[in-house]
Amino acid sequence: MTDSRPPMELTCDEVRDLAAGFVLDALSADEAAAVRAHLASCSDPHVEIDELAAVLPVLGESVPVIEPPAALKARIMEAAEADLEGRRAEAAVAVAVPAPAAVAPAQPAQAQAAPAQEPIPLRPAARAGASPGTWALRIAAVLAIALLGGWNLLLQGQLSQARSYQESVAAVLDAAAQPGALTAVLTPEGGSGPSGFAAVESDGSVTLAMQALGPTAGDEVYEAWVIGGDGVPVPLGGFQVGNAGTAYFEATGVPAEAGVVLALTREPGPGATTPTLPIVSSGAAG
Amino acid sequence: MSDPAGPLLRRVASSADDADRAVLARIANGELHALDELYERYKTMAYSIAYRITNDAAAAEDVVQEAFLGAWRNAARYVEGRGSVKTWLLSIVHHRAIDAVRRRRPVADLPEREDVPPPALRLPDVWGEVSANLDAEAVRAALAALSDVQREAIELAYFGGLTQQEIAERTGTPLGTVKSRMRLGLLAMRRALIEASP
């Protein structure tokens, strides 16, 4: 049993009451967060959660069998191959740049935005794969970032932050290299603050790399918006940011038209339908 | 709490699961062929669940792609973790699919998913061991153990992506009753699984 109450103030009995909803993923955001907070701090193992969840595979086995289209495999393998190439290229850059010795193995570029479940690009088959020119761009960009940021940026404490942003920018460059893609540089309203780089592809997908973002807390998210010719902001989705202050974000539904504005706001929770001002960073595609 | 299902839940993982773990270890090493193998093994299961939840072929494809790329990128994390590869994948597919369904709905109170693993990923090996040993008879027995109202509540949550509160509103049932139906339904399935296990 729990003697010291977790932050969201659920008792063990209340967690047991919510257990079925928790394992079925049928709680509200607040309830689910409260259960997780309780489980993280409670000395009781709450085996009822495991017992209830252990039967869920039955539900998965009960669905009508439908074969996926053959093309899906090609899409997945192509995306995985591109991911692998990206890792290798980043490893090559890490060797080329005289960074401090303790360089971690290449990780997915999205790790900063969502450490537990990285956002994964959809339909990457629309991308033609990285051409030699793209890799040259990538490497040049990564080197430029490292140089512009100054070698001090690569000193121990900030190394991972710099690498994360480099990897994100490399992914954006990949998208920007596609035929018909537009790019946008996002800058803060006041001249200093969060900035980033985005690519809008002809199929409406957008890829965004940001840095110097304040870390989010609790349910707070950064929400990306697209503002077209009608001036109405349309939400693209939200993401959270850790202490590194960097983020990588992908979405779809952005018109690939010059002048369309991408903007970022800080929202108290996911699912915002109107932006909470101020706009922390924005830029027009062109 | 005592565990009357101990013999079932502590069963040694199947050889199929061992093979899956080996495949995932190769994926963690960046072997594309291993991802190909994993996909071939579970593509039908993954797509069937995704389609059942999203009821949309394109969305189901995206969900499956996300799930397998998630496995590709996080395989090393899994190897250090736990449980059956099959059910690990299933849980990823389920959560991604529910996310997709909820994104389509004008619901402000979306569960936050960016910073926490889905519930199944915190589970010990029992999750995988049960799943690895499921056969058609056990599945039928477990589903048959549900009353109609229990099945409705569980399916609206698991396949429909509805919260307990939304289920209560949709079915005109008190929230407490919905919670009870879910809990008692899952417990009934569990008992049936135990009885059906060899």
- pLDDT in the model for residue B92: 85
Contact B65 A77 (CB under 8 A): no
The mean pLDDT value for A161-179 works out to 74
Cβ distance A58 to B134 less than 8 Å, yes or no, reads yes
pLDDT (tens digit per residue) in B78-106:
654 445 777 778 878 988 898 888 887 65
Is the Cβ–Cβ distance between A51 and B5 less than 8 Å? Answer: yes
Residues 167-196 of B with CB under 8 A from A: 167, 179, 182-183, 185-187, 189-190, 193
For residues A126 and A199, the model is more confident at A199
**Mean pLDDT over residues A31-50, rounded?**
84
Average pLDDT (A8-37) is: 88
CATH of the domain at A192: 2.60.40
Nearest residue, CB atoms, A83 vs list B52, B72, B143: B72
- Tell me whether residue A85 is in a domain: no
For residues A207 and A109, is the Cβ–Cβ distance under 8 A?
no
Q: What is the pLDDT of residue A44?
A: 84
Summarize the confidence of residues B181-196 as an average pLDDT: 89
**ipTM of model:** 0.75
Confidence bin at A139 (pLDDT 50/70/90): low
Question: What pLDDT does A191 receive?
Answer: 67
Pick the residue with more confidence: A132 or A128?
Answer: A132
User: Which member of B3, B70, B179 has the closest CB to residue A120?
Assistant: B70
How far apart are the C-alpha atoms of A119 and A112, rounded to whole Å?
10
Domain stops at, among A20, A39, A62: A62
User: What pLDDT is attached to residue A37?
Assistant: 85
Question: Model pTM?
Answer: 0.52
- The span from the CA of B7 to the CA of B12, in Å, is 10
Are B150 and B184 in contact by the 8 Å Cβ rule? The answer is: yes
Measured distance CA(A121)–CA(A110) in Å, rounded: 10
Mean pLDDT of the residues in chain A: 73
Instruction: Identify which of B102-106, B117-121, B124-128 has the greatest average pLDDT.
Output: B102-106
Percent with pLDDT over 90 in chain B:
43
CB–CB contact A55 B130 (8 Å)? yes
Q: What percent of chain A has pLDDT over 90?
A: 10
Taking each helix axis from N to C end, the angle separating A29-41 and A12-23, rounded to the nearest 10 degrees, works out to 120
Chain A contact present for B24, CB below 8 A: no
Neighbours of A230 (CB within 10 A): 7
Sign of the torsion angle spanned by Cα atoms B46, A69, B103, B76: positive
Q: Is residue A247 part of a domain?
A: yes
| pLDDT exceeds cutoff 90 at B32 | yes
Taking CB atoms and an 8 Å limit, are A28 and B109 in contact across chains?
Answer: yes
pLDDT grade for A93, boundaries at 50, 70 and 90: low
- pLDDT for A174-232, tens place per residue? 888 877 888 888 888 766 788 888 888 888 888 888 888 888 887 788 888 888 777 77
Rounded CA gap, A112 and B136, in Å? 42
Q: Is residue A274 part of a domain?
A: yes
Query: Which pLDDT belongs to residue A90?
Result: 72
Contact (Cβ atoms closer than 8 angstroms) between residue A6 and residue A42: yes
Find the domain containing A31 and state its range. 12-62
Domain-terminating residue out of A62, A79, A97: A62
Mean pLDDT, residues A75-99: 76
From the list A101, A166, A80, A238, the residue with the least C-alpha distance to B103 is: A238
Residue A241 within any structural domain of the chain: yes
Picking from B40, B135, B141, the residue whose alpha carbon sits closest to that of residue B89 is B40
Q: How many domains does chain A have?
A: 2
Chain A residues with CB under 8 Å of B5 CB are: 51
Residue B120: pLDDT over 80: no
Q: Higher pLDDT residue, B85 or A126?
A: B85
Q: Would A154 be classed as within a structural domain?
A: no
Last-in-domain residue among A62, A81, A96 = A62
Asked if B141 contacts B196 with a C-beta cutoff of 8 angstroms, the reply is yes
Alpha carbons within 13 A on the beta-carbon side of A272? 24
Do the domain assignments include residue A118?
no
